[in-house]
Structure 1
Amino acid sequence: MNKNSTKNPRKIKVGKKFIGPEEPVFIIAEIGNNHNGDLNMAKKLIMEAAWIGADAVKFQKRTLSEVFIQDMLSRPQTSSRALGATYGEYRQKLEFNERQLKELRKLAHSLGLIFFVAPFDLKSAAMLNNVRMDAWKIASFDLTHMPLIEYIAQRKQPVFLSTGMAGEDEIDEAVNLILKHNDQLIINHCVSVYPTPDEDLNLGAVETLIKKYSRFPIGYSGHEIGFTPTIVAVSLGAKVIERHFTLDKSLPGPDHATVSLDLAEFSEMIRQIRRIEKAVLDKKIYLHEKEIPHRQKHGKSLVARTAIPAGAKITAKMVCCKSPGYGMKAGLMKKLIGKKAKVDISADTVIKKEDVNW
């Protein structure tokens, strides 16, 4: 592990936004392949992501001959949700060219969104370098693809690294390679099971990554059904959330129904994230000023159990603890016993410090 990964936490600037300490959780709407190769659908997804409050949109780019062997591309598609007769036809339908991606970037920027794409091969990465994205994404599939990782790191732009399908040594290797060229790194805990059962989410790894790579923001790229575990990741300290986003779960394609959130779900997830990040922001222990009225009403004070005449020596039988809580603290009982009353103290009234000769 690179020693630079264990320094004090820092903020990473992505576009006009910051990720890190004291910043809002950065929320990525992973459009991925959910546009189904339709440019207008991709634009609609971007507009909806902006409307519901996402910070960024992310797509994917593959040069099929560089990513898959021909045997894989030629395999027939048997699913009723497939978009082509073969795997190659299906995957090709999902690819946008440079001009289209620039058009999508322009739209995203006009709506205040960060725009980036995950390349799955070097040829796609070279093309994306011309698109002028705000950041780069290294997908879990390519965490061990060192030539691709090095090319991306050398662009000197923010890098989101997902950790699915890898052990700690492989993650360390990828991190160290990136840090040789670039320290603008965000690491996202990820489990590449689609969808991921609760027992396999391994959310405790978020805290492990925060401790191990304390210098960098740690996020969560989730593939579970629903979003409750995503909210838990935020409470554990995740500063980035990436979730697949769809217009309609009934659309054909592998991700719509299995790992994606629709508009209503994504919107509610964001609302809950914004609520949770406020709830876990303050880590100090103290008496909150808004608690004071309740403490004064329901807290416990030292109260005269019986009437105590002026000059009388106060005994334990003369005192009890009752509400309200604006009098002497109940914890001062032992100090009070043996002192003399300065004034007459009526029965069942709060004892004040000025009522006693100390």
Structure 2
Amino acid sequence: MAQLVKIGQTLIGENQPTYVIGEIGINHNGDIEIAKKLIDVAALSGCNAVKFQKRTPELCVPEAQKNLMRETPWGIMTYMDYRYRVEFGEAEYAEIDKYCKQKGVTWFASCWDEPSVDFIEKFDPACYKIASAAVTNDSLIRYHVEKGRPIILSTGMSAMEEIKRAFGWLSPVNRLIAHCTSAYPCKPEELNLRMIRTLSSEFNCPVGYSGHEVGLQTTLAAVVLGASFIERHITLDRAMWGSDQAASVEPPGLMRLVRDIRVIEQALGDGQKKVYDSEKGMIKRLRNISE
């Protein structure tokens, strides 16, 4: 049996309830009120956590892209200015931290550079997530590990050898891994959900699923295949401006997703054959009909 890992006060792993993460990412478009509404949606739906993304633009934006002009809801601006426009600072994250505590929702972030790790560390996060884009960034992974917190390793756009190398840097008792395909939105034929079982057999840790598909049925299938945690991008409206909105789940869909995950958990049972009390009346009525 794979090790269990605790995020906040919640154990994650085999025979535990599926841990559901609503990825806000940058779907807040730099607006703290949108972020709060998304936290409200996650709390109302029964999500365990929400996740944000944190970058230091001057470190994360390639030099060739910094001065490219881009159309945005705030007018035409350089890509660099746009990246700053959608980044929250200390005041916003302090508000997010306070608001999530009020709502009883855990929050954490994917940090794309070392200063971003230092920034988020000030808020005592329950865990970190290594974005798929950083799987080959050994120094950034090691920098996360130094903080001593649980780490979710995402595996999009990565070969198995790259995943094994990144996984090897993580603490043996504080690591989780998420199957992922980094296409937005992702076609069903590229989801490769059986990788959940492949990763579970390869790595001694909780294995989950980070999905970017349209619809809910394949995410539910991931739970049936054994995903210990689920992450889906969430949005107020898929038609909103932003690169991740189209692959996100709107509020009614998120409520259905969490509801159906909980029903599936009940239905899966423990795999031990038994005769239920509800069947005993049928035994008396039907068992001897053909005998």
Q: TM-score range by the shorter chain?
A: over 0.9
Matched ranges for 1:157-172 at <5 A: 157-172=149-164
Tell me, yes or no, if the aligned pair for 1:81 and 1:253 is still in contact at 8 Å. no
Aligned to 1:16: 9
**CA gap 1:177/1:292 in 2 versus in 1, 3 angstroms:** same
CA distance in 2, matches of 1:280, 1:82: 48
Contact 2:22 2:42 in 1 (8 A): yes
Per the alignment, residue 58 of structure 2 pairs with 65
Could you tell me how far 1:90 is from its partner in structure 2? Answer: 2.2
What per-residue deviation string (whole Å, max 9, x for no partner) do you get for residues 178-215 of structure 1?
Answer: 13xx52111110000111101000000001111111x3
Q: Which residue of structure 2 aligns with residue 116 of structure 1?
A: 108
Distance of 1:253 and 1:25 partners within structure 2: 28
Name which of 293, 304, 309 aligns with 2:281.
293
Tell me by how many angstroms 1:76 deviates: 2.4
Aligned length: 291
Question: Could you tell me how far apart the structure 1 residues matched to 2:113 and 2:144 are?
Answer: 11
Superimposed CA distance per residue, residues 50-91 of structure 1 (whole angstroms, 9 cap, x where no aligned partner): 11111001000010111122211222225x778753322222
Question: Corresponding residue for 2:192?
Answer: 202
Deviations 1:128-149 (A, max 9, x none): 1112111101010111111110
> Is 1:190 aligned with 2:180?
yes
In 2 relative to 1, CA 137–84 (structure 1 residues): closer, same or farther, beyond 3 Å? farther
Q: Are 1:271 and 2:259 counterparts? A: yes
CA separation in 1, counterparts of 2:27 and 2:118?
23
Within 2, Cα distance between the matches of 1:142 and 1:26?
23
What TM-score do you get using the length of structure 1 for normalisation?
A: 0.78
Q: What residue is the counterpart of 1:145 in the other structure? A: 137
Within a 5 Å distance, the mapping from 1:41-52 to structure 2 comes to 41-52=34-45
Which amino acid in structure 1 is aligned with residue 223 of structure 2?
A: V
Match of 2:193, as an amino acid?
Answer: L
Q: Sort the Cα spacing of 1:262 and 1:83 in 2 relative to 1 into closer, same or farther, 3 A.
A: farther
Alpha-carbon separation, structure 1, partners of 2:219 and 2:23: 14
Q: Structure 1 residue 128 and structure 2 residue 120: aligned?
A: yes
| Match in the other structure for 1:259 | 247
Matched, 1:38 2:53: no
Asked whether 1:233 is paired with 2:228, we answer no
Distance in 2 (alpha carbons) for counterparts of 1:228 and 1:74: 41
State the alpha-carbon separation in 2 of the partners of residues 14 and 50 from structure 1.
17
Residue 104 (structure 1) shift: 0.4
1:75 matched to 2:76: no
Matched, 1:219 2:208: yes
* 1:10, distance to aligned residue in structure 2 (A): 2.2
Runs of 4 or more consecutive aligned structure 1 residues displaced over 6 Å after TM superposition: 80-83
The answer as to whether partners of 2:5 and 2:173 remain within 8 angstroms in 1 is no
How far the C-alpha of 1:109 sits from its partner, in A, is 1.6
Structure 2 CA distance, aligned partners of 1:220 and 1:154? 25
CA distance in 2, matches of 1:83, 1:183: 47
Are the equivalent residues in 2 in contact too, given 1:83–1:253 (CA < 8 A)? no
Is the CA contact 1:83–1:90 (under 8 Å) kept in the aligned structure 2?
Answer: no
Deviation at 1:285, TM superposition (A): 2.2
Q: CA deviation at 1:38?
A: 0.4
Q: Secondary structure at the match of 2:219?
A: helix
CA RMSD of aligned residues (A): 1.6
**Counterpart in the other structure of 1:337:** none
- Which string of whole-angstrom CA distances, capped at 9 and with x for unpartnered residues, describes residues 22-69 of structure 1? 221000010001110001111121122111111001000010111122
Instruction: Call closer, same or farther: CA 1:47–1:177 in 2, change over 3 Å.
Output: same
CA distance in 2, matches of 1:24, 1:39: 30
Q: In the alignment, what sits opposite 1:281?
A: 269
Q: How far did 1:294 drift?
A: 1.8
Q: The residue matched to 1:85 in structure 2 has which SS?
A: strand
- In 2, are the aligned partners of 1:135 and 1:159 still within 8 Å (CA)? yes
Per the alignment, do residues 84 and 36 of structure 1 end up closer, same or farther by CA in structure 2, a change over 3 Å counting? farther
Q: Which has the higher contact order (CA 8 A, sep 6+)?
A: 2
With the length of structure 2 as denominator, give the TM-score of the two structures.
Answer: 0.95
Q: Secondary structure at the match of 1:278?
A: helix
Cα shift at 1:169: 0.6
